[in-house]
């Protein structure tokens, strides 16, 4: 008999099994929904131990729930991190992750190519909390990046595959620049998912997801996740991150001393999430786990259909430009081949030649494709960005962000690609007509 394999489990296996614990009472194979707010203490001393964080058992579901814990561990495993936590939304994940690093008077560098909802939070609620965000062109040279770092800079923030234009970010280079400056790289990896891209392998220290999108895949739940790579040397940057590396009071060890490589995530869980309370319901994590189990199968179909759709759209006269890094004509194609060899995601954005009115006719003619704000669904979705997500921007700001008057974002779903193309054809014919006929 051949010896038992000792190789690590493959991604497709881990998306089903990672982080799972068979329920000790019922022996349920599927992770149960632990629909409870709190947990009974075995004794006076047990309660003290739980609140001190010295017990393996939980105290309260605001930041610790068994169903949610499995989801956090599974996403962390797939990303290659040491630990993960799920929270109420992708926006909650961003806010929690950055609040653990920065406070009033601090500074965060970010690439310009970011989802508009994220930028709105940066210039809105987080700015009102006293955190300053400064934007750097994604491909600015090393000297410019270095010149933007300040003593109060606490992180560099970016997205792997920015929504909606798909400018593939050079994570390895930006990670190197962040580490040379002594700050962590925080990366939103929602669009590729860890199946297509694992930015921790390229230097990311903290990875964020909106789990509402491809990870769940069915548009039934809202959620977010934060993953700690466990590689950043917080102790070496103790002056910049005293909340992690310094003792909170005499006689109490620091988070680094207590949790080692998991110090950051332990701080997020036991301070940020506990105190702000962005708790995700365990029912949502239950549905998320079921989505993750089929992630690889779905993503293969998503990207194959997206590639077909992008190539078809590129040949249409009604379309002035197709934004999809899987196309050889795209300026980020070479980088996509390097970072995304299994596929360039399933967001395809198009600029209609007829501008805003053509976009109106296109959206109103669709029958199969759903006009709505969401991405990563099993269903194909479409939205006109200038009148919705980017509507608060001035025309000049929209132009600077690459949002043209006829820009439509498509999230390619799992329907028959022939049916998707038929509906796109219906929309484009209407877009090309003066009256929609």
pLDDT digits (tens, 9 = 90+) for 396-421: 999 989 999 999 999 999 999 999 99
Confidence of residue 311 (pLDDT cuts 50, 70, 90): very high
Is residue 436 scored above 60 in pLDDT?
Answer: no
Q: How confident is the model at residue 204 (pLDDT cuts 50, 70, 90)?
A: very high
Question: pTM of whole model > 0.75?
Answer: yes
The Cβ-side half-sphere exposure at 260, using a 13 Å CA radius, reads: 3
Residue 223 — φ and ψ, nearest 5°?
A: -175, 170
Q: Tell me which of 74 and 58 has the higher pLDDT.
A: 74
Cβ-based neighbour number of residue 429 at 10 Å: 16
Beta-carbon count within 10 A of 135 CB: 16
Model confidence at 304: pLDDT above 90 = yes
Q: Which domains does the chain have, with CATH numbers?
A: 11-292 (3.40.640.10), 295-432 (3.90.1150.10)
pLDDT of residue 64: 87
What is the per-residue pLDDT across 242-265, written as a single tens digit (0 to 9) for each?
999 999 889 889 999 999 999 999
CB distance 296 to 11 below 8 Å: yes
Q: Tell me whether strands 407-411 and 381-384 are parallel, antiparallel or unpaired.
A: antiparallel
pLDDT at 285: 97
By the 8 A CB rule, do 252 and 110 touch? Answer: no
């Amino acid at each position: 008999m051949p010896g038992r394999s000792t190789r690590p489990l493959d991604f497709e296996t881990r998306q089903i099994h990672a982080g799972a614990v068979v329920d000790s009472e019922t022996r349920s194979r599927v992770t149960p929904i632990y629909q409870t707010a709190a947990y009974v203490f075995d004794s006076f001393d047990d309660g003290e131990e739980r609140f001190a964080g010295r017990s393996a058992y939980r105290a309260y579901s605001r930041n610790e729930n068994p169903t949610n814990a499995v989801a956090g561990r599974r996403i962390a495993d797939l990303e290659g991190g040491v630990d993960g936590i799920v929270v109420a939304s992708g926006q909650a994940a961003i806010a929690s992750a950055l609040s653990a690093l920065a406070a009033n008077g601090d500074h965060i560098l970010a690439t310009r190519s970011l989802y508009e909802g994220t930028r709105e939070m940066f210039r809105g609620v987080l700015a009102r909390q006293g955190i300053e965000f400064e934007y750097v062109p994604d491909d600015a040279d090393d000297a410019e990046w270095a010149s933007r770092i300040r003593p109060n800079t606490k992180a560099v923030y970016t997205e792997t595959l920015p929504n909606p234009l798909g400018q593939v970010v050079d994570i390895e280079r930006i990670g190197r620049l962040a580490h040379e400056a002594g700050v962590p790289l925080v990366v939103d990896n929602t669009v590729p998912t860890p199946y297509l891209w694992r930015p921790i392998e390229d230097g990311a220290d903290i990875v964020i997801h909106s789990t509402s999108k491809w990870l769940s895949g069915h548009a039934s739940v809202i959620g977010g996740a934060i993953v700690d790579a466990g590689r950043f040397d917080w102790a070496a940057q103790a002056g910049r991150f005293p909340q992690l590396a310094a003792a909170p009071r005499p006689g109490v060890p620091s988070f680094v001393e207590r949790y080692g490589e998991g110090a950051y995530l332990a701080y997020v869980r036991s301070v940020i999430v506990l105190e702000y309370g962005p708790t995700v319901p365990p029912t949502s994590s239950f549905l998320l786990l079921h989505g993750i189990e089929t992630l690889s199968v779905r993503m293969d179909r998503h990207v194959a259909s997206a590639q077909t759709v992008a190539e078809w759209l590129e040949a249409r006269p009604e379309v002035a430009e197709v934004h999809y890094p899987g196309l050889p004509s795209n300026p980020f194609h070479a980088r996509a081949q390097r970072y995304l060899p299994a596929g360039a995601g399933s967001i395809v954005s198009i600029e209609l030649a007829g501008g805003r009115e053509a976009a109106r006719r296109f959206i109103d003619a669709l029958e199969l494709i759903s006009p709505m704000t969401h991405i990563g669904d099993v269903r194909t979705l479409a939205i006109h960005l200038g009148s919705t997500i980017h509507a608060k921007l001035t025309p000049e700001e929209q132009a600077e962000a690459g949002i043209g008057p006829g820009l439509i974002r498509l999230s390619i779903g799992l329907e028959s690609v022939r049916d998707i193309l038929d509906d796109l054809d219906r929309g484009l014919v209407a877009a090309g007509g003066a009256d929609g006929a």
